[in-house]
Amino acid sequence: MKSITRRRRSSRAGAKSRGGRKARAKVRPEFRDYMRKIDGYRAGRNPIPLLRTGPGKIARAVEGLTPGQLRRRPARGKWSIAEILGHLLDTEIVYGYRCRMALAEPGRPVQAYNQAVWTETLRHRRRSAPRTVAQIQVLRKVNLELVGSVPRRAWKRYGEHPERGRETVRRTLELVAGHDLNHLDQIRAIRKKFGW
């Protein structure tokens, strides 16, 4: 009886379609490719240890860089290290909110955001890198404490992403862990390109 109830609830969780039934959002190929890439960085590893160590690795990766180096873009239209750091801070805020929504109000839609617009409009290129790294570290600690404070079964709760469909708390943690590693590689590649 319980499994039937769960199935019925989950079938009502998506957007409404004709006939009163709700349908789940279809994941577009570019988002599927992106998620596959991010999962490749994580390589099946448990996200929690990666999430614990990610901010420290990022802090070490930018250590010793001058403000000019942090602001230098590797190519036209590509983010500088300072912009990558600002994006990582935005990610921590957005995904922290999404986890809270999924845990407290499961099945609700979650808002997408335009990372390029945020990076430009919020002037991430001009942010203090040490301050941004410190904020990432604090927010990551807060977010990990939150997800660690609920039973693991609650990680099955989800939000409905408009572009990627249903994302559980666990899936969100997996994506953030891989996202850290992706951007860590980008920072290292920029340093290597310029010989820093």
Q: Is residue 83 part of a domain?
A: yes
Residue, of 5 and 161, whose pLDDT is higher: 161
pLDDT value at residue 24: 56
How confident is the model at residue 60, as a pLDDT? 98
Q: How far apart are CA 173 and CA 149, in angstroms?
A: 14
**Residues 171-187, mean pLDDT to the nearest whole number:** 97
What phi, psi does 114 have (nearest 5°)? -95, 100
Range of the domain at 57: 43-194
CA–CA gap between residue 175 and residue 97 (Å, rounded)? 14
**183 token code pair:** 């951007």
Of 172 and 32, which is predicted with more confidence?
Answer: 172
Residue 52's pLDDT is what? 98
Q: Which pTM does this prediction carry? A: 0.85
Does any domain span residue 18?
no
CATH code at 167?
1.20.120.450
Angle at which helix 81-104 crosses helix 129-148, to 10 degrees, equals 20
Asked if the structure places residue 27 within a domain, the reply is no
Q: How many domains does the chain have?
A: 1
CA-closest candidate to residue 106, choices 6, 17, 4, 21: 6
Is residue 72 a part of any domain in this protein?
A: yes
Q: What is the pLDDT of residues 110-124, one digit of tens each?
A: 999 999 999 999 999
List pLDDT tens digits, range 72-122: 999 999 999 999 999 999 999 999 999 999 999 999 999 999 999 999 999
Least confident range of 15-19, 134-138, 169-173, 176-180? 15-19
Q: Average pLDDT, whole number, for the chain?
A: 89
Asked if residue 134 belongs to a domain, the reply is yes
User: Burial code of 163-190, b = ≥16 C-beta within 10 A, e = fewer?
Assistant: ebbbbbbbbbbbbbbbbbbbbbebbeeb
Query: Is 141 contained in some domain?
Result: yes
pLDDT surpassing 60 at residue 44: yes
Whether the pLDDT of residue 190 is over 90: the answer is yes
Residue 116 counted as domain residue:
yes
Domain assignment present for residue 28? The answer is no
The whole-angstrom separation of Cα 122 and Cα 169 is: 27
